[in-house]
Each structure stands twice: as structure tokens, then as C-alpha cells.
Amino acid sequence: MRFFDPEHRSHAARVMRDRGVEALLVIGGNGSMEGAHALWSEHGVAVVGIPASIDNDIGHSRESVGVDTALNTILDACDRISDTARSHHRAFIVEVMGRDCGYLALAGAVATGADAVLLPEKNPERTEVVKRLERLVRHSFSGRRQKRRVLVLKAEGVKIPTEALVAELSEAVADMKHVGVRATVLGHIVRGGNPTFRDRMLASRFGLVAVQAIRAGRSGVMVCWSTSDRGEPTSDAFVRLFGLDSILQETELLTAGTSDLQNERIHRLEAIHGAMAF
């Protein structure tokens, strides 16, 4: 917390200079990038950022280190939950991490074949959510469809408490015999585990380009996984450099749900999913 104080940032920069540290590679999320930006802009410290956040809420980079591992953990948990849901005719609401970004919930919903997903970017209204979930449960377990499970993924950034949502939905479908509604909050289990091949590959490619950028005298930038023609090209066709100023601005748009990248993610995944995203 001391790093929020300009005096302590000055002290950090002095320590680096006194100890002969020539450059700093900052691996982390948007808070880490803000700190890197402060060291660079206020004290001229040579910094290059590497995005690492399971929330996938760092501007300009389509993917951050940790996202794929988190998604695979979510898939494994939802597959197991679906097994017990089918055995007992249950609707499960599964809350996943992501802070104010719904990427993990939406991408997880697509991969698990979930029936619906609740996103903070949509800012869903509580009463309407309960009504729509009630219609979903009734339709899914009706004689016409005869589904054996209903799976709803909910991003933690959605302001409706998960337990309250389960209680209200349970009351709404109380007349449906042999149908239960349950909640599972995956919580910090999503942040752990051994990294997948994709995350290890992504980290290696980010690391190589970041070191090359430092050796070339670049600073105040972050490496990004990007297929656009924006940013600065590197030795890797899929990794580009973006200024930290631009990274922080785009990150604010992501958090607010107004980023072009975030909207493109949502629209593309919604189209693939074909289910209710609200």
C-alpha cells in the first residue's frame, strides 16, 4: 500500500538506481501496470509490462497469462457439477471469479454448454433475472425438452448475491416437484493449479519479447497478445507493444464495459453460445 504514496515510489526508484538495476519487467494485472507506469513516468525507470491476470481485464491484450488455466479449472468444476445436477434434476448457479469483467463466465459458459450466463457488463436487474431464470428452468425441465440439468454461470461482478438469487429462484419454482436449485461459488480455486500448456507458451513468448524490448531500449510499454494492426510490431507476429498510457485507458473502458475489445468478445461468444447472456 505504501506504493500509492509518491514519496515511497521515489524511494523505490532510488533503491533500484543504488543497486544498479537497469530495468524492471512487471508481471501482473492492471494495478501492477499502474505501478509500472508511475515508476516510468515519474522517475524514468525502464519498465516493460507482461499481462498476467485471470480476469482478462487488461487493455489491448486479448489474453493474459493465467486465463487459460483458470478457464480449464472452471470447465472441470462445471463438468463435475453437471454430473450431479443430471442425477438429481437440479439447476445450478455457479459463480466464477473475474472482478468487474465477465470474460471467464462467458467463455466458460460457451465451453460447458451452459444454459445462461450473467455478466456485469450487462448490469442485469434483479427481478428480471429471477423471472428469466424461472422461465428457463420451467422450459428446460418441461415435458417438451426433458432436460436433466440447468447450468447458469454467474460472474462475481454481478451485484446480485448468489445465495439470494438461488433463494428467490427456488421460491419461484417451488411448485415444480423433484426440481432443486443449488449454488456453487468456485472462489479462489480458480486462481490455483498447475498452468496449462497454453499459459506456459504464452508466458514464454511474452517474456522473450519483453526482454527484447528492454534490450532495444524500449520502455513504458506492455507486451500484448494482439492480432490487430495497432501497437508496435515485434519479433512475434502475435505479440505487439502498446504504451502503458494507452493500456491504462483501455483497461478503464474494459472495466466500464465500453471497450471495443470487450464488446467484440461478448458479441462473438454470445453468437457462438446461442443462449441467454444477461
Count of CB atoms within 10 A of residue 240's CB?
A: 23
Beta strands per DSSP E along the chain: 24-28, 47-51, 90-96, 116-118, 149-155, 180-185, 221-225, 232-233, 239-243, 276-277
Residue type, 123: N
Q: Say how far apart CA 194 and CA 198 lie, in whole Å.
A: 12
Q: Name the active-site residue from 5, 18, 55, 83.
A: 55
d(C-alpha 118, C-alpha 154), whole Å = 5
Strand partners, 242: 222
Residue 263 DSSP symbol: H
Beta carbons of 265 and 106 less than 8 angstroms apart: yes
Tally helices (H) and strands (E) across the chain: 9, 10
User: Is residue 199 flagged as an active site residue?
Assistant: no
> Cβ(86)–Cβ(225) under 8 Å?
no
Query: Which residues are identified as catalytic?
Result: 55
